[in-house]
Structure 1
Amino acid sequence: MSANLYLDHFGFTERPFSLSPDPDFLFWSRAHARAFSVLEYGMVTRAPLTVVTGEVGTGKTTLIQALLRRLDPNQVVGLISNAQGDRGDLLRWVLNALDVTHPDAADYVTLFQTFQDFVLKVYADGGHVVLIIDEAQNLGAETLEELRMLTNINSGKDELLQLILVGQPELRQLIERPELRQFAQRVTATYHLDPMDFVTTREYVRHRLTHVGGSGDEFTDQAIRAIHGESTGIPRIINKICDLSLVYAASAGQDLVDMATIRELIEDGLILRPFKEPLFLTNRVDRPRKAAE
């Protein structure tokens, strides 16, 4: 069934639960509002380092896109996603994000000088540089330390360079390692975005439905409760389940998504649960085997 069929069936102007990050659909839950306020605080105060973390699919990238819409014209922004590599590779990522040309065969000193000259020029023109690094948990300890060293370009009371790091919970664990204590000390503001509870999930679903012209009551409370349980409150998974639910309901000629619809989705195997590591309350110790008698 095409998506248009359920759009016509429910009278929606567009898909309410697309998986692509879209600031137009941003739902300001309490947690998302706080996370965004931390990002804005970092921007307004020109904090050298701001960190926001959260599980996969909690809406971090959507918050970044919303932030980009509110930036000051004097802020020169570079957005980096999935940066990986060794020493020197980071500077190439940074220069590419800022659209700064540099020789392909340039060594580290040349790359750093090119970056420093660019930052100083922006500052001389009345602006400052902001680097936003998404999926920052992919950076290793050495790369994070290299990022910290970049902030040494800041001097006096003026901040010429700001860094905003966004990533999964592993990023926070990485920053808390002893060898990165100098990096952690420069983090001015940080926030961890938790999954949504049931009440917030219900408000989230209704928000997206009304945004596309729906009534907001196309899902029963029992169905939303089941969706919350299956998704554990992760917005991306909520979107996936809701989108499929609408397809199933429309194909059956139903005006409501009810518990039976969600149960059918589960029975048909359309909901894939993420793998979770087993929980050990203590360090597992293998028992020694008895010697053969």
Structure 2
Amino acid sequence: MYLYHFGLRKLPFSLTPDTELFCSLPSYKEALNTIHFALTTGEAFCLVSGEVGTGKTMLSRWLINKISEQRIIAYLPNPVLNPREIKLALASELNIRITKNLTDDQLVPRIQKRLIELNKKHGPVVLIIDEAQTMPDETLEALRLFTNLETETSKLLQIVLFAQPELIEKLNQKHLRQLRQRIAFQYRLSRFNRIETQQYIEHRINRSTSQKGHSFFSSSAYSAIFYASGGIPRLVNILAHKSLMLAFGKGRRKVRINEVLGAINDTQDANSNLRFIKRLFLAGGLVLFSSSALAYWILL
């Protein structure tokens, strides 16, 4: 791979949610502030939504790392579960011993008892659910009923949902209005702009190398990655990774526009913009050439 060639100690653009590479850009800061305020004020639900690839899973892992020392965390990364299955999953996260023949009437009181025990020492348990848009309607309703578990002064369970925008559409259904009304705080993750795209790439590289401050990409390469990715972090990762591979294959120490165009051409969700990007940078080159020629003519 290109690690030794570029002096990297780890892959900077892996798609796994490595929290060491987390880049605290404004959208992520605002999302975390929203979650923090919801948890601090004792709200039952908080929702963070975003398009595919905008970094929801990374954000959820970062949140777990940040608050796990103060609060007990239950984490469900794959909530495609029916109501009984989600109760069993929560019981498992709370280390409750269960048997196969345990009925729901017996299960819920055990969960409540465990939540009360944990609340005395650590406060309400925080249940973090990723990909929440995949939950069936009846499971969402079962989730709402969990938030009825409370003491005289606080909830026993606070729930943070990370989901694609489809969950918001689902919650607009009339029969889910009670759950919708309980989500007092929500935040929508935005895509990166051009400056944030460059900051994101530079941050991940700087976290992966001892060569601080060294630029691995040209300015035009950053711009091409931004336009092709549409500011979607996952696509930024894919294009940056492939661009580094192409530069390595050519023996280059810096990624230029040609390597990025090659990466775009090899990436299905980015290559729809390839013609536009080529025209854009060709036009930019012609403008630069014309400006240089004009300056040379004036100097004569």
Q: TM-score of the superposition, structure 2-length normalised? A: 0.84
Q: Per-residue deviation at 1:42?
A: 2.1
Residues 10 and 56 of structure 1, relative CA distance in 2, 3 Å threshold? same
2: CA distance between counterparts of 1:64 and 1:164? 9
After TM superposition, the structure 1 = structure 2 runs for residues 1-293 of structure 1, keeping only pairs within 5 Å, are: 3=1, 6-71=2-67, 73=69, 75-125=71-121, 127-213=123-209, 214=211, 215-267=213-265, 270-273=266-269
Aligned to 1:287: none
1: CA distance between counterparts of 2:256 and 2:156? 54
* Cα displacement string for residues 7-47 of structure 1 (whole angstroms, at most 9, x for unaligned residues): 22111222111111111111111111101111222222222
2: CA distance between counterparts of 1:93 and 1:216? 46
Opposite residue 109 of structure 2, the aligned amino acid is Q
2: CA distance between counterparts of 1:257 and 1:126? 49
Assess if the C-alpha contact under 8 Å between 1:209 and 1:216 holds in 2.
no
2: CA distance between counterparts of 1:158 and 1:145? 20
User: Which consecutive unaligned segments of at least 5 residues does structure 1 have?
Assistant: 277-293
* Cα displacement string for residues 111-141 of structure 1 (whole angstroms, at most 9, x for unaligned residues): 1121111112222445321111111111122
1: CA distance between counterparts of 2:243 and 2:27? 26
Q: Secondary structure at the match of 1:50?
A: strand
2: CA distance between counterparts of 1:162 and 1:131? 6
Q: Per-residue deviation at 1:275?
A: 12
Q: Per-residue deviation at 1:74?
A: 5.1
1: CA distance between counterparts of 2:202 and 2:79? 36
Residues 274 and 11 of structure 1, relative CA distance in 2, 3 Å threshold? closer
Q: Per-residue deviation at 1:210?
A: 1.8
1: CA distance between counterparts of 2:140 and 2:93? 17
Residues 110 and 275 of structure 1, relative CA distance in 2, 3 Å threshold? farther
User: Which consecutive unaligned segments of at least 5 residues does structure 2 have?
Assistant: 273-300
Q: Per-residue deviation at 1:155?
A: 4.1
Q: Per-residue deviation at 1:99?
A: 2.1
Assess if the C-alpha contact under 8 Å between 1:83 and 1:93 holds in 2.
no
Aligned to 1:284: none
Aligned to 1:285: none
Q: Per-residue deviation at 1:58?
A: 1.2
Aligned Cα root-mean-square deviation (Å):
2.0
Residues 63 and 266 of structure 1, relative CA distance in 2, 3 Å threshold? closer
2: CA distance between counterparts of 1:96 and 1:53? 26
Q: Per-residue deviation at 1:246?
A: 0.6
Q: Per-residue deviation at 1:91?
A: 0.4
2: CA distance between counterparts of 1:58 and 1:239? 11
Q: Which moved more, 1:50-59 or 1:85-94?
A: 85-94
Higher share in helix: 2
Assess if the C-alpha contact under 8 Å between 2:228 and 2:270 holds in 1.
no
Q: TM-score of the superposition, structure 1-length normalised? A: 0.86
Assess if the C-alpha contact under 8 Å between 1:228 and 1:238 holds in 2.
yes
Assess if the C-alpha contact under 8 Å between 1:74 and 1:128 holds in 2.
no
Q: Secondary structure at the match of 1:31?
A: helix
